[in-house]
Amino acid sequence: MTAPLYAGTAREIRDRVRSGAVSAVAVAESVLGRIQAVDGAVGAYIDVWGDHALSMAAKVDRRVKNGEDPGPLAGVPVGLKDNLCTSYGTTTCASKILKGFESPYDATVVCRLRDAGAVFLGKLNMDEFAMGSSTENSSIQKTRNPWDLGRVPGGSSGGAAASVAAELATITIGSDTGGSIRQPAAFCGCLGMKPTYGRVSRYGLIAFASSLDQIGPFTKNAEDLAIAMNVVSGHDPLDATSAALPVPDYTTFLKNDLAGLTIGLPKEFYTDALGGPMRESIMRAVDVLKGLGAKVTEVSLPHTDYGIAVYYLIATAEASANLARFDGVRYGYRDPSATTVEEMYRGTKTGGFGPEVKRRIMLGTYALSSGYYDAYYLKAQKVRALIRRDFDEAFAQCDVIITPTTPTPAFKFGEKTDDPLQMYLSDIYTNSVNLAGVPGLSVPCGLIDGKLPAGMQIIGKPFSEDTLIRVAHAYEKARGFEMGKPAIK
Amino acid sequence: MAQLTLKDVEYVAALAQLSLDEAAKARMLGDLGNILGYIEKLNEIDTTGVEPMMHVLDLANVYREDVVGPSLDRALALKNAPNTDGAYFLVPKILDAE
Amino acid sequence: MEFETVIGLEVHVEISTRSKIFCACANNFHAPPNTNVCPVCLGMPGVLPVLNRAMVEASAAVGLALNCSIARWSKMDRKNYFYPDLAKNYQISQYDLPLCRDGYLDIEVGGAAKRIGIRRAHMEEDTARSTHTLGPGVSGVDFNRAGVPLLEIVTEPDIHSAEEAYAYLTALKQILMYLGVSDCNMEEGSLRAEPNISIRQKGSTELGVKTEVKNVASFSGVQKAIEFEVKRQAKILREGGQVQQETRGWDADRGVTLSQRLKESAHDYRYFPEPDLVPIVVDEAWERRIRESLPELPKARRERFKTVYALSEYDAGVLIADRATANYFEAAVKAGAAAKPAANWIMSELQALLIGAKQSIAACKIGPAQLAGLIGLIDSGTISGKIAKDVIAEMFTSGKDAKTIVEARGLVQISDVSEIETMVREVLAQHPGPVAEFRSGKAKAKGFLVGQVMKAMQGKGNPQVVNRILDEQLAKE
Ligand SMILES: [Mg+2]
Ligand SMILES: [Zn+2]
């Protein structure tokens, strides 16, 4: 292989490390070198764990040397969104209020990845507390889209998406509450999976909206996605909402045909609001799927139009409670001038949270406050039930639903920062998937105008991640073009 | 739904323990008013007889067994505290009692 | 104006599970500060609660003992408010669907039976404890108590006097102790009672404005706080004023309640269903298993003691008041003691010894079979009741059997007629004065002579035989 080690897929790296053909340390050094060279321009990492990565890699190499099983991610360089608690380094949610916070424990996914032989490179930038769609709400830095440094990488897992696209990590782990994995994956031209609610343990994920949050991987291709999902999925006794269901071996679904599969195209997604180039790239992808033996049918998700409204009530209501704990008592920032408890709370929250976080706390608090609960929160939960019912009915007619992941490709910095509602509406195709709790996967499906990636969203029935991986893999093999790599300039 | 007022914004900020100066209040009133206006569209849907969705998963009775496990070492528990004497988390004197 | 008092009681009970309600930390907040804590009960970022099954079962058991219906389907909710002792700044509690509801507890006040309705009993987590003695301008927070399981039991406003409130709390504590779900130690806060008190004109059906009283550390404190509050409210109304709806704190030293003013927004708790926890579904089978595991409760036990052991209402009531005492009594009877003397010895001598030594009956060195042994020695005439009092005192300190003590100290009662006759003759000879007095009609003088005989026999003479022989000898000559 003449290509640099950092350019490999997880499967390639894993196999070569396991066979002893390359050392995990050499792989880690290669990716750390790439980060050094390129991340100044991209800004994906908040914190790079150089020494820690090398020592994790050395451990993997020792296991290989001793003939022990080094795990399914042996030596694979992995980056972590900074809302995943790690007992090494800091965990900040890109917020001033958690500056310097050193978690006393590891998130369950972090343990699983480490046990699988992954090598952690560091923590990745995000919108503060995962609230945003462009990573512009990070209190720390901008992350740039590797395909066009003048554009956003999407969000909230912007660092996680940009680093896979720019080969600053082989696999990254993000979180998705309303599109925070799929939308940046689409903007950056990589794969990003939001699993079924309950598939992956949320223990150790700093909560934004507890009933919507899921952790998922970003990868370069479907095979790596299958490998990563094998590691992160499964029941966790520390998360009462994690499903006690068996996890299939996702790598057994990497087949090259889609015979017997029915694809649903929801008519509410293919309206005039969907721009021409985006519509064309999705339709070309659908044609590829047809060529693989899939049947296509029109389905209806009648409450699609209400998804954003429902989402912003439920997500902010839950967030208003979840973020109450950041009060300056046990960890994080405390307003140093406070002399009373009241001043401590107010000074800490006012000085520690950024404007978007404050806005959402305000909205959620209002939606739950005395006299408004029924009209806002309860009403939203009822419409949420209708949205879920829409999906159940649609899935009676098809196996997967295909939509664009986003209405447009990556937008420019500052384009939507002045109008929160416009920013919220950029998640219009992804929100309802979280509301329904079903899995969704964004797969790159070409470049708009030859420049910016477009993403196709594959939505499945609950716990049908295997089917989504099957569709993604078959599509990748059959689409007849390479996405290529961003030039980063 | 009644129009959001500046008084509402002040009340909610107090509930959420946020201090907003006059400019921030005005901005918040505009932003929230905008979003709430958009959310009004939910009133188009008749939800009579619809059960609110509390959980997407059909799970019930998930428990831990009553077994004691290890606690944190105190130094680790207090490690991130802005103010501590090594035994307690220290806060400004609590005056009123809940 | 004549007033009627209307009281509802909210009682928070700490349930003595081994681990906390949502994490595996030990349920013991008496440890050094912040040593029984983990990321979950410290409300660290990213943590999730998982409900302790034993808490659900203990709570349902209390509900069933209080004649509540157990919800087939219930859930946990978040109650939002800011306070430094609340790790997450929300308390996980139950709002609109408590685990237990619509029960009752029968109490007795002044000999009259009365039924107090139980509106609900719900599960929640306890808060941390703060201390204000660490220095000027600071308070310290200890999270050992954060996440200790709490059951909040709320009555209907069926209580109409301080005495009724006291009787309710006593009966409730008895049941909780019988169930073994809490140590109910009010001083240490494992049982906390908060009365809501209002008064209204006698005959009126409308409720008056109520005040809620907090910080009461004993049952008698609850009684005193209610008495104070009723007087305070009556004075206001008589003077034409209006009672303010508010929370008031009990100042035990001064014997008064004081207003605790809270902001209006402090009561907008923004309850919503806890998304991190799934519904609690108690089906019929689970409820049956819990019901079948309930021990016999105080009321049933009292009735049984009356019928099976032919005890008086009073004796039965005293014995069953404490489960361990009632168990002790039954074990003594099982070991062969007759019921009535066993009851008497337990309620008088043993009780006095236990109180004197500040000991619980469970830790008593005299086992129930040993008490039965002592009673057997009295029955058989081996020792007198008087000697038995000395013997039980020694048993209490040494833990030895009554028989061993009686033999070692030669305390066996003397009933031998010739031995007693000899002794009586000697005494009569030594005390001609009293003998003459008796013969001249002063019956009282006989008591002195009996005492002298017993003294000469070191208390071991059988009192009946001594009396008979003394009568015979005095009648002679
Ligand atoms: Mg309570
Ligand atoms: Zn704990």
Provide the pLDDT for residue B98: 39
* Residue A190 contacts residue A44 (beta carbons within 8 Å): no
Q: What digits encode the pLDDT tens for the residues A15-43?
A: 999 999 999 999 999 999 999 999 999 99
Chain A residues inside the 8 Å CB shell of B83 = 334
**Token representation of residue A368:** 């739950």
Instruction: For C142, name the nearest residue in chain B, comparing CA atoms only.
Output: B88
* Three-class SS of A438-479: CCEEEEEEEEECCCEEEEEEEEECCCCHHHHHHHHHHHHHHC
CA distances from A100 to A322, A332, B79, B80, C109 (A): 20, 7, 11, 8, 61
Question: Which among B14, B55, B94 is the nearest to C139, CB-wise?
Answer: B94
Q: Cβ contacts of residue C274 below 8 Å, gap of 6+? A: C49, C75, C76, C77, C78, C92
Residue C119 DSSP code? E
Residue with tokens 């949502």: C22
d(CA C118, CA A162): 59
Q: Which residues contact B17 (CB under 8 A, 6 or more apart)?
A: A327, A342, A345, A346, A349, C82
Q: What is the ipTM of this complex?
A: 0.97
What secondary structure does DSSP assign to B8-24, as a single string? HHHHHHHHTT----HHH
Rounded average pLDDT over A303-307:
95
Task: Give buried/exposed letters for A47-84 (b at 16+ CB in 10 A, else e).
Answer: bbbeebbbebbebbbebbeeeeebbbbbbbbbbbbbbb
Compute the distance between CA of residue C84 and CA of residue C149 in angstroms, rounded to an integer: 19
**pLDDT single digits (tens) A172-212:** 999 999 999 999 999 999 999 999 999 999 999 999 999 99
> What would the two tokens of residue C440 be?
């001249």
Q: What angle do CA B77, A175, A190 make, to 5 degrees?
A: 140
> What is the phi/psi pair of residue C139, to 5°?
-120, 150
Q: Strand locations in C110-204, DSSP E? A: 112-125, 129-131, 138-142, 149-155, 191-201
Interface test with B, best of C34, C38, C78, C276 (most B CBs within 10 A): C34
End-to-end CA distance of chain A: 26
> Is it the case that residue A342 has pLDDT exceeding 80?
yes
The pair of structure tokens assigned to A204 is 């150790």
Query: What's the pLDDT score for residue A455?
Result: 97
Calculate the alpha carbon distances from A94 to A136, A183, A332, C167, C421 in Å. 11, 19, 12, 57, 103
Q: How far is the CA of C389 from the centre of ligand 1 (A)?
A: 49
Q: Model's pTM, two decimal places?
A: 0.93
Enumerate residue ranges in chain B where pLDDT < 50. Answer: 97-98
Question: Is residue A101 within 8 angstroms of chain C, CB to CB?
Answer: yes
The Cβ of residue B48 has, within 10 Å, a number of other Cβ atoms equal to 6
C327-355 burial code (b ≥16 CB/10 A, e <16): bbbbbbbebebebebbbebbbebbeebbe
* Ordered DSSP codes for A126-169: -SGGG--SSSTT-SS----BTTBTTB---SSSHHHHHHHHTTS-
Q: Are C154 and C121 in contact (CB under 8 A)?
A: yes
C288 and C298 in contact (C-beta within 8 Å)? no
What's the gap in Å between the CA of B63 and the closest CA on chain C?
5
Catalytic site positions of A: 81, 156, 180
- pLDDT value for A489: 82
Which residues on adjacent β-strands are paired with residue C191? C13
Ramachandran area for residue A360 (φ above 0: left; ψ -120 to 50: alpha; else beta) = alpha
β-bridge mates for residue A295, sequence order: A262
Q: In sequence order, what DSSP letters do the residues of C48-69 get, joined into one string?
A: ----BHHHHHHHHHHHHHTTPE
Q: Give start and end residues of each alpha helix (H) in C239-357.
A: 284-292, 298-309, 313-320, 323-334, 339-345, 351-357
Q: How many CB atoms lie within 10 A of CB C359?
A: 13
Q: Is A179 helix (H, G, I), strand (E, B) or coil?
A: coil
Predicted pLDDT of residue A121 = 98
Q: Do B90 and C82 touch (CB under 8 A)?
A: no
Q: Does A333 touch chain C (CB under 8 A)?
A: no
Chain A residues with beta carbon closer than 8 angstroms to that of C47: 105, 203-204
Q: In Å, how far from its chain's centre is CA C26?
A: 25
What are the per-10-residue average pLDDT scores of chain C (477 residues)? 93 98 95 97 98 98 98 98 97 98 95 96 97 94 98 97 96 96 91 96 90 93 96 94 92 92 74 98 98 96 96 94 94 95 95 94 94 92 86 94 88 81 88 87 86 84 85 81
Radius of gyration of chain A (CA): 21
Check if the beta carbon of residue C127 is closer than 8 Å to that of residue C83: yes
The predicted pLDDT at position C447 comes to 87
Full DSSP string of A306-343 = GHHHHHHHHHHHHHHHHGGG-SSSSSS---TT--SHHH
Q: Which among C385, C264, C286 has a CA at the least distance from the CA of C70?
A: C286
The residue with tokens 């990321």 is C39
Among the bound ligands, the one closest to the CA of C23: 2
Q: Which of B64, B79, B84 to mutate to test the interface with C (most CBs of C within 10 A)?
A: B64
pLDDT the model gives residue C464: 83
B68 by Cβ neighbours in 10 Å (0-12 / 13-18 / 19+) ranks as: middle
- Of the ligands numbered here, which is closest to the C-alpha atom of B77? 2
- Look up residue A173 and give its two tokens: 């782990």
Among C230, C178, C173, C183, residue whose Cα is nearest residue C15: C183
**What pLDDT, on a 0 to 100 scale, did the predictor assign at position B97?**
46
H helix intervals, C18-127 = 53-65
Q: How far is the CA of C196 from the centre of ligand 1 (A)?
A: 14
| Å from CA of C19 to ligand 2 middle | 8
- Residues with CB in 5 Å of ion ligand 1: C 152
Can you say how many angstroms the Cα of residue C322 is from the centroid of all Cα atoms in its chain? 6
Helix (H, G, I), strand (E, B) or coil at C112: strand
Determine the Cα–Cα distance for residues C337 and C367; give it in Å rounded to an integer.
12
Query: How far apart, in whole angstroms, are the C-alpha atoms of residue A440 and residue A315?
Result: 18
Bond prior to C190 in cis (omega within 30° of 0): no
pLDDT the model gives residue C264: 57
Per-residue pLDDT at A1 exceeds 70: no
CA of A244 to the centre of ligand 2 (A): 23
Inter-residue contact C287 to C70 (CB < 8 Å) = yes
Nearest Cα neighbor of A329 from A344, A313, A350, A310 is: A344
